[in-house]
Amino acid sequence: MAEILQYFMLFLIVLMLALALFAVKTKDLLSAVIASGFISLVASIVYLYLQAPDVAMTEAAIGAGITTLVFVITVRKTKGKEK
Partner 1 sequence: MVFFAASLLLIFIGLYAALVKRNLIKIIIGLSIMDTGVNMLIISLGFVKGRTAPIISLKDLFKKGSLLVDVSKVVDPLPQALVLTAIVIGVAVTAMALSVVIRMYSVKKSIEIDDFKELKW
Partner 2 sequence: MRKIVAIFFLTIVGLYMLSLFAQIPFGKPYKGVSEHYVERGIVENRGSNLVTSIVVNYRGFDTLGEVTVLFLAATGLSFLLFSCKCLREFKRIRSSLVLRTATDTLFPLILLFGAYIFIHGHLTPGGGFQGGSVIASGVMLLFLAYRSFHVNHKALSTIESLAGITFAGIGLVGLIYAKSFLANSVISLGQWNKLFSAGLIPFIYIAVGFKVGAELSGLISDMISTTKED
- Contact positions vs partner 2 (CB under 8 A): 52-58, 61-62, 65-66, 69-70, 73-74, 76-77
What residues contact 23, with CB distance under 8 A and at least 6 apart? 31, 32, 33, 35, 36, 39
Q: Which helix (H) or strand (E) holds 72?
A: helix 68-77
Footprint of partner 1 on residues 17-46 (CB under 8 A)?
Answer: 17, 20-21, 23-24, 29, 32-33, 36, 39-40, 43, 46
Closest separation in Å from C-beta 16 to partner 1: 7
2 alpha-carbon distance from chain centroid: 24
Closest separation in Å from C-beta 27 to partner 1: 9
